[in-house]
Amino acid sequence: MGSVSEFKASLTKERPISEMSVQLKSLWYDGKGDWHQAHAQVDRLNDPESAWVHAYLHRKEGDIWNADYWYSKAQRIRPNVSLEDEWEQLVLYFI
């Protein structure tokens, strides 16, 4: 999977591609509208990359305090972009 367009096209499938990283699987479930499954993918991970996805998910949920906590774990600040833009930035980073 080499592009955001290809990743978006994979959202028509029933399951994520098994070779996807856990971060991409989380974003895949989020792209399918399954926030809870997306969160479950990264909930117990503490590495900075997973923390970034975790932060985005809490930002999307509207839990800004929790999002900021995870952005700090990811060594990032909460972006001033739309959720859609951040989702695409994350996908592009992880593909």
For residue 4, being part of any structural domain is answered with no
Q: Provide the number of structural domains found in the chain.
A: 1
Cα(5)–Cα(40) distance, integer angstroms: 25
20 contacts 36 by C-beta, under 8 angstroms: no
54 contacts 43 by C-beta, under 8 angstroms: yes
75 contacts 47 by C-beta, under 8 angstroms: no
Cα(50)–Cα(26) distance, integer angstroms: 9
For residue 5, being part of any structural domain is answered with no
For residue 9, being part of any structural domain is answered with no
For residue 16, being part of any structural domain is answered with no
List the chain pLDDT tens, one digit each, 95 residues.
688 899 999 999 999 988 999 999 999 999 999 999 999 999 999 999 999 999 999 999 999 999 999 999 999 999 999 999 999 999 999 99
Cα(83)–Cα(59) distance, integer angstroms: 8
For residue 84, being part of any structural domain is answered with yes
State the helix-helix crossing angle for 83-94 and 48-61, rounded to 10 degrees: 160
Tokens encoding 10: 């994979």
pLDDT number for residue 1: 64
- What's the CATH number where 37 sits? 1.25.40
Fill in the amino acid letter for 27. Answer: L
pLDDT number for residue 78: 97
For residue 7, being part of any structural domain is answered with no
For residue 33, being part of any structural domain is answered with yes
Structural domain containing residue 42: 21-94
For residue 12, being part of any structural domain is answered with no
